[in-house]
A and B are shown apart, each in its own frame.
Chain A
Amino acid sequence: MLQLLDISKDYENKPLLRGISFTVTANETVCLLGASGSGKSTLLRIIAGLEPPDQGTVRWEERDLASVPAHLRNFGLVFQDYALFPHLSVFENIAFGLRMQNLPRPEIEQRVREAVAQVNLTGFEKRGVSDLSGGEQQRVALARALAPRPRLLMLDEPLGALDRALRERLQGELRGILHATGVPAIYVTHDQEEAFAIADRVLLLHEGEIVRDGSPAEVWNEPGSAWEARFLGLGNVVEGVVRFEVGKLKVETSAGVFELGCRHAHRAGEKVNLLLRPSGVRLAADGNLRGVVADVLFHQDQFKVTLESGLYFYLPEAPPVGGEIRLRVLQSGIQCLANDDFIGLGC
């Protein structure tokens, strides 16, 4: 449905977006995940038609949108701080897009009622938007964007301004609403947990380029590079040197020597990055990873144990601080990563 082809955009003479191409199909929620300043919001504004790209095309069902101004695209956008009209009531905010379509009054009322019910705000219609809480404002913004039945819904960090508990609750609601309406959606966030919770597909944006495009499970299980593993917070990234390989690959790191399987060939002496998943270790007397416990934090049903080397792991019991522990790294707990220089080559 939506197709982006080779979109590039400079900001203050520096490339902000470089050759962005992807598609969004019907019923699909795509998460655009990237650090702040990575150009996510700019990309949304280009799709919305608020800003022209320097290069590339935005297409909807094979039609180039370059000549279609923002107000004729029928794309909905939920702004980061909602951008509700402060001079209008909840009802009038939601009705705004319907009025722009010059719909008859009864239909406007009907559709606002539906939208209000959809976001659980029935009874709030006459309230002024400045009296609402952050979560309520967020719902109004969503209802306002959905009411005109957009062909595409874009959400720019819609939960960014809310506190954690509310954010987690609204994540679920949001996903439910997106699936119920079936509207294709682009969801922009810098929070990887939020992206994994909402998305059907995750696009990872790094330095103006899409470095990864896959389902949340794919992205989680097979990080493409050390940067990805670090940005997604998948675990410890350790640098190491390939020592020798006799059928199996051995990598020497500051934390110890690890044996692991890898799909790709390596040369001896080559530098590689390893990902040590924090949950992929067991306490074992014969473990090849040893270290002195620097800190122990209670973390949900486990303990987060940080070693003096900076590595951290999740263990079912708390070892004494200052004592030495030995850990065995499970096969599933260690992965070989591509260097950042070789992004896209995979490992």
Chain B
Amino acid sequence: MRRRFSDSASRRVNDSTSQRVNESTIRRVSESANQRSAESLNRRFVLAESLIRRIAPWLGVSIFLGLFFFYPLTRILALSLDFSALTADNFTLTFYVLRFTFFQAFLSTLLTLLIGLPAAYLFARFDFRGKSLLRLLTAIPFMLPTVVVAAGFNALLGPRGWVNLGLMRLFGLESPPIVFVYTLWAILLAHVFYNTTIVIRVVGTALAHLDPRLEQAARLLGADARRAFWRVTLPLLRPPILAASLLVFLFDFTSFGVILLLGGPRFATLEVEIYVQAIQIFNLPLAAVLSFIQLLCTLAFSILYSRLVTRLAVTVAPRPAETNLRRARNWREKLCVGGMALLLLALFLLPMASLPLRSVAHLESARGERTAVSYGLTGDYYAELFVNRLGSLFYVPPFEALANSLIYAAVTVVLSLALGFPVASALARPGRLEHLLDPFLMLPLGASAVTLGLGFIITFNKPLITDHWSLITSPLLVPLAHTIIALPFVIRSLQPALASIPDRLRQAAASLGASPRRVWFTVDWPIVARATLAAAIFAFTVSLGEFGATSLVYRPEYPTLPIAIYRFLSQPGGLNYGQAMAMATILMGVCATGIFLIEHLRLPGAGEF
């Protein structure tokens, strides 16, 4: 759940109206007052009131972000500058971790481009049956929780996955022939699965909007198709390709759940190492140092990316995308188009399809016995979710994890809407204050979830009010972290909708005699309602699937669904595996429904990366 929203288009609406209203209020007030002193007092009062009105929407968010984002960050910073972590051992560890982080991110990006660039070409230039469906299919993974993706690949290629069990049965093998989980390949493939859609969107959009006559001009000047592509098309696509690569690299660099679940303990990236140091070794100073490095890296990438994006608009001419589209003409083109479409279908459909299928399939014996295996459909894994089989106090049945997740998600929705709505309305008619504060709102996007979790651990590990009530022991910490993560998305999906309501509509309604409240209900509400619902679903699915921060701050007695999936997936036994599959399927279903609803609620053109 890592979608970026463009903010450039929505900033234009000016705030002249509110100023005008204030001015007229001032004038009216001053006219009614006869004495000078009373007038100036009134003026001061009205000015103060308008100042309060401008600042008020920011109060909640400022306090919230200050307390739960910026303060924890400064705590990390302070701890990392403690120098107690600066030993030679830690230095080599950091070096290896950093090297692997860059290595896997670089390799993942390369592979993503290898699949994504031809896919972008396919979508931008060719028309074929089932295209929109395939495009939707490639976009879904981007929004899926990491545990779901990890479970999906596990269901396909894991030791108990379809492929391995199928091969074992087919050839009578004793052990799974394909070793996929806990290899570098698992990490790389999952990253490709996640981020190919970025390349398709960014590069594909640029390609579709590229003026087709530029290529034709090259052809007429004597360039054959190949030279026209290399000399004209590719150079023009360089900025979008660079931007997409950087974005993909950034996501691969900060990836956590996929690496922890599919890579296992052998492959420690910065994120995983922060988690290991904080949770398993409890070396908080080292974790803080790693977080600090992580923050610096993401900051650098983000700055580079936003500078690239501003250059994007210059080279891409706005042309109708249809003119570039055509059907495959000869058998070679048909082969390429068909092959690429099939490859994409396999890459995206197989992991997503094998997960729900695996959750209802009985493919192996129950207790490690290799005899008397009954194959077939089963609902056992779902039924088992409601049973506390171990009878242990510390064991939490999966359905309770689901209930916890739903409660956390509900709290996250309420919190992020309550905080985000006033700010989004203020941002919809931005003044100097808004332009100044806007970047700060988006900063949480730059900090990784694990860093956020670490900040929470460091900051709230002391009793806050009394010995009996501290935040660290409170289950409230999870939705607080989720709210920090969801807030930028909520604001960015509300803001364009709120900004899209032209002031003239409000003025027209007011001039027809509607009171301000009725104006809001008749003009604003119909548009706002859709956007609010979309933002709420967004926050809900973010919270439901969040794994990075949750894995650090959750209370063992109140695990979330992703945490439960992680626990069950790392435990032996077919039943545990099946339950993990069942839970991941439920999570995938809810998130996919959310994605579908958001797509339908979204205003056209409002949501890009």
**Chain A interface (Cβ < 8 Å from any Cβ of B):** 48, 50, 69-77, 79, 81, 83-87, 96-97, 100-101, 130, 144-145, 148
Contacts and interface: CB of A to CB of B under 8 A. Distances in A.
Contact of B220 (A76, A86, A101, A130): A76
B222 interface: yes
Contacts of B235: 87
Contacts, number: 69
A87 B230 CA distance: 13
B223 interface: yes
A302 B118 CA distance: 64
Given A87-B315, A130-B314, A50 B236 contact: no
B220 A75 contact: yes
10 contacts: A73-B220, A81-B213, A83-B217, A85-B236, A86-B315, A96-B218, A97-B222, A100-B218, A100-B222, A144-B217
Contact of A86 (B218, B219, B221, B317): B317
Given A85-B232, A86-B315, A96-B231, 19 more contacts: A48-B216, A48-B220, A50-B219, A50-B220, A69-B219, A71-B224, A71-B228, A72-B222, A74-B222, A76-B221, A83-B213, A83-B214, A84-B217, A87-B235, A87-B236, A87-B315, A96-B223, A100-B227, A148-B221
B211 interface: yes
B227 A85 contact: no
A69 B223 CA distance: 10
Contacts of A70: 216, 219-220
A71 B211 contact: no
Taking residues whose C-beta sits less than 8 angstroms from the other chain, chain B's interface range is: 20 to 34
A123 B216 CA distance: 28
A337 B111 CA distance: 71
B236 A96 contact: no
Contacts of B213: 79, 81, 83
B223 A100 contact: yes
Contact of A101 (B218, B222, B228): B222
Contacts of B317: 86
Nearest to A154: B220
Nearest to A156: B213
B539 to A, nearest CB: 41
Contacts of B223: 71, 96, 100
Contacts of A130: 314
Contacts of A96: 218, 221, 223, 231
Contacts of A81: 213
Q: Which 5 A-B pairs have the closest CB atoms?
A: A100-B222, A97-B221, A83-B213, A70-B219, A83-B217
B458 to A, nearest CB: 49
Given A83-B214, A85-B214, A86-B317, A77 B220 contact: yes
Contacts of A97: 221-222
Interface of B is mostly: helix
A144 B216 CA distance: 13
B59 to A, nearest CB: 45
Given A100-B227, A130-B314, A85 B217 contact: yes
From B222, B223, B227, name the one whose CB has the most chain A CB atoms within 10 angstroms.
B222
A100 B211 contact: no
Contacts of B224: 69, 71
Which interface residue of B213, B235, B317 has the most chain A CB atoms within 10 A?
B213
A71 B222 contact: yes
Contact of B222 (A85, A87, A148): A148
Contacts of B222: 71-72, 74, 97, 100-101, 148
Contacts of A48: 216, 220
A148 B228 CA distance: 16
A71 to B, nearest CB: 5
B227 A83 contact: no
B238 to A, nearest CB: 8
B210 to A, nearest CB: 10
B221 A83 contact: no
Contacts of A79: 213, 216-217
Contacts of B236: 85-87
Given A83-B213, A85-B232, A87-B236, A144 B315 contact: no
Contacts of B227: 100
A79 B217 CA distance: 8
A307 to B, nearest CB: 43
A126 B364 CA distance: 72
B278 to A, nearest CB: 47
A101 B220 CA distance: 12
Nearest to B317: A86
Contacts of B221: 71, 76, 96-97, 100, 144-145, 148
B211 A83 contact: yes
Contacts of B217: 77, 79, 83-85, 144
Contacts of B314: 86, 130
A115 to B, nearest CB: 12
A79 B211 CA distance: 12
B243 to A, nearest CB: 16
B500 to A, nearest CB: 30
Contacts of A85: 214, 217-218, 232, 236
Among B216, B223, B228, chain A packs the most CB atoms within 10 A around the CB of B216
B25 to A, nearest CB: 47
A50 B218 contact: no
Contacts of B219: 50, 69-71
Contacts of B228: 71
Nearest to B238: A87
B206 to A, nearest CB: 12
Nearest to B239: A87
Contacts of A75: 220
Given A97-B221, A100-B221, A83 B315 contact: no
A92 B511 CA distance: 58
A72 B222 CA distance: 6
Contacts of A74: 222
A100 B230 CA distance: 12
Contact of A50 (B214, B216, B231, B315): B216
Contacts of B214: 83, 85-86
Contacts of B232: 85, 87
